[in-house]
Amino acid sequence: MKKLTFDTIIHIIVTKGRTIEKLFVIVVLLSIMCIPFVGINYDLSTYLPEFAPTKQALDIMEEEFGYPGLARIMLKNVSIHDAKDIRQKISELDGVSIVIGPDSVTDAYMADSFVQNSLNDFNSLIGKGNTFYKDKNAVMEVVFDEGSYDPKTRHAVDQIYDIAGDDACFTGSAIANKERQQSVMKELSVSVLLTLVVTSIILALTTESWFEPVLFIFVMGIAIVINMGTNIIFGEISFFTFSISAILQLAVSMDYSIFILHTFKSYRDKGYDMETAMKLAIKEACTSVLSSGATTIVGFIVMAFMNFEIGSDMGFVLSKGVICSLFTVIFLMPALILHFNNIIEKYQHRPFVPPFNKFAKSVFKVHVPIIILCAFIALPCFVAQGMNKFKFGDEAMGAGPGTKVYDDAREIDAVFGKSNIILAIVPNGFEVKERELTDDISDLGFVNYALSLSGTLPKGIPQDFLPKNITENFKTDDYSRIIISMKNTEESDYSFTCSSTITKTVERYYPEDSYVIGLTPTAVDIKNILTDDYNKVSLLSIIGVAIVVMFTFKTISVPILIIIPIELATFLNMAIPYIQGENVMYIGYIIVGCIQLGATVDYSILMTNNYILMRKDCTNSKEAALKAISKSSLSILTSGSILMVVGYIIYITSSIRIISQVGHFVGRGTLLSMTLVLVLLPALLSLFDKIILKRINKQNSQKVKPNSAAKISKTA
């Protein structure tokens, strides 16, 4: 059997193009069939590690009661009687567990024969005055049977919309999740369409044929479909990953196709026939394309080392996306280029972008001030980017200003104040202790109310006397549930302190087998986990990329020069929110650092490689730097512009704060990376020219290998 060498693989790619095209058609069809079976997870808490207290509490909650979705509804211009009728209709819906409203909290779980439905009774029970009815506005809090992400809950929410009417205001995790699911699908379609349009325009301006952009986008589209279909191996991916992975894959992988085609055209210009030119192009391009892909994969895959498992979700999907792109470009792109070469040549146009010689001279004139300025701002930017005000939990994933959910929440809070629901799970069978705990929690100044079966049931009435369908909302054979409403937001230092106070109060009564769960406790766990994750992931990403670059350039010093502009751009990117006083979503903070390093370090590699090539023939560092800038600028600006635009499209189109902010950071970070690679890196290479010369001399001293082009030409 003939040995399968690299040259043999290249020969197969070039000569078996039609067969390869047919195989890709099959793979794409299978991928399209798989896409509908890939689940989308909207619940951040499921990505918590097993050791997190919230994760342990979730397991108990789901086993005993299920993990309920929550909603808060405000009815406008209604009487107490009308509010009671509406509350009663909502409480009878399939999927609704408890409805707490202004007529009587006891109706939620008590027979009318024991407790009268009166507003005064309710006020005396909660001891806080009328917190559910003000100025003809009524507010209700709904606890669902299933989680916010369950189809049963979503259906119940639809029915609640119909019952409450168009004038009502809605907020809460179940409402936010439903709106989030609808907006993700709609906004992804808009962002993909805009990305395709803008990317096509950029490629049309920076290439030399009207058909080239069509070919590039078609190949990337195939790679994206394959990646989306093969996500079935994970079962489900997070909505966060789903929202940004496809267009990020397009943006970071477009270079691979461009490099293959341009290398092929350069060999055609030298007089080689099509097959030989393609073989030479694949052989020359593979090293650069695979090296570029490796740095991007390393930048993404380190996210899998996060304890918060959404990092694994993002890291694996994005890394697999780059692998799919590499596979598609190396095997399918050559076949398509040969297939459509006549069309590419037929629709050629003059270059729209002028040479960058004047730009290079302008940049290099200020190389000394640039180095001084960057050295001056490096430390302040590093310090500032770590001093941001961070958001960690579900609130960071919510809808942003201008959306109905956001505006409704503000309107409800303005009338009735904030209500942050958390749940305490305690061992069952200790009615007196449970009543005392409920009273103690109710007396806390930051608590609106605390409701439990023992705490609210009149003395002398045994719990077992009540119907099971009433008591099961508050107790099982092993555990009892206490519903607690706090007067604060889901996430702030004050909220974290209040949540901790409630946890300590519960543990004082029940030192063992007690749990506190809710959006605030979840945010506390995420905060503790992500803070540790950041340092680990940042270090691993830098080390990983440095190792790949070190093997590419076969030296230790060059990777340091290559990474400096990208890391400085990352520090500056993340320092800007601190200067502007913005809140930063911590998940995005970690992920963007990895994306910016993995996706834009290629610009540094290209500039450095061109400098080294030019330095071999140039008499001094200045001449080499000018030529390197001129040669690299178009490629960097093309690739960088696409990624930058993609980032800003995500920022503009997404109403979900975390997705929008990640897009903003990616767009701005890419702009900063491009700028520093073009203006700072040539200055650094020139400054450390002796190190570059040492490497060049070492290469020249090695034995010269046979000419690859001649070898392939002879074989062909």
Residue from 676, 654, 642, 648 nearest 203 by CA = 642
Its pTM stands at 0.82
What's the pLDDT score for residue 544? Answer: 86
Same domain for 581 and 689, yes or no, is yes
Q: Say if residue 235's pLDDT is above 80.
A: yes
Same domain for 428 and 473, yes or no, is yes
- Is residue 537, in this structure, part of any structural domain at all? no
Domain boundary among 523, 553, 588: 523
What's the pLDDT score for residue 116? Answer: 36
What's the pLDDT score for residue 654? Answer: 85
DSSP strand pairing (389-391 vs 583-585) = parallel
- Is residue 712, in this structure, part of any structural domain at all? no
In the chain, the amino acid numbered 94 is: D
Query: Is residue 389 within a helix (H) or strand (E), and if so which, with residue range?
Result: strand 389-391
Query: Quick one: average pLDDT of 271-294?
Result: 87
Same domain for 317 and 375, yes or no, is no
Same domain for 62 and 167, yes or no, is yes
In the chain, the amino acid numbered 571 is: F
What's the pLDDT score for residue 148? Answer: 77
What's the pLDDT score for residue 459? Answer: 58
- Is residue 601, in this structure, part of any structural domain at all? yes
- Is residue 156, in this structure, part of any structural domain at all? yes
Q: How far is the C-alpha of 640 from the C-alpha of 643, rounded, in Å?
A: 5
Q: Are 656 and 596 in contact (CB under 8 A)?
A: no
Same domain for 413 and 517, yes or no, is yes
Q: Say if residue 122's pLDDT is above 70.
A: no
Query: Quick one: average pLDDT of 475-501?
Result: 86
- Is residue 202, in this structure, part of any structural domain at all? no
Domain boundary among 501, 523, 545: 523
pLDDT band at 698 (very low <50, low <70, confident <90, very high): low
Same domain for 99 and 211, yes or no, is no
What's the pLDDT score for residue 129? Answer: 44
Q: Give the chain's domain count.
A: 3
651-676 pLDDT, tens digit each = 998 888 888 888 999 999 999 999 99
Same domain for 120 and 147, yes or no, is yes
177-232 pLDDT, tens digit each = 888 777 777 888 888 889 899 999 999 888 888 999 999 999 999 999 999 999 99
Same domain for 362 and 444, yes or no, is no
408-450 pLDDT, tens digit each = 888 888 888 888 888 888 888 788 888 889 889 888 888 888 8
Q: Give the structural domain span for 33.
A: 1-37+207-322
Query: Quick one: average pLDDT of 459-474?
Result: 58
Query: Quick one: average pLDDT of 372-387?
Result: 90
Same domain for 63 and 33, yes or no, is no
137 SS3 class: strand
Residue from 435, 446, 370, 400 nearest 625 by CA = 370
For residue 230, what is the domain's CATH number? 1.20.1640.10
Q: Say if residue 400's pLDDT is above 50.
A: yes
Same domain for 496 and 578, yes or no, is no
Q: Say if residue 380's pLDDT is above 90.
A: yes
125 SS3 class: helix
- Is residue 191, in this structure, part of any structural domain at all? no
Q: Say if residue 312's pLDDT is above 50.
A: yes
Same domain for 380 and 406, yes or no, is no
What's the pLDDT score for residue 704? Answer: 45
Same domain for 475 and 435, yes or no, is yes
Domain boundary among 486, 503, 523: 523
What's the pLDDT score for residue 645? Answer: 92
- Is residue 337, in this structure, part of any structural domain at all? no
- Is residue 532, in this structure, part of any structural domain at all? no
Mean pLDDT (the chain) is 82
Order across the sheet with 479-486: list the strands.
447-451, 479-486, 420-427, 515-518
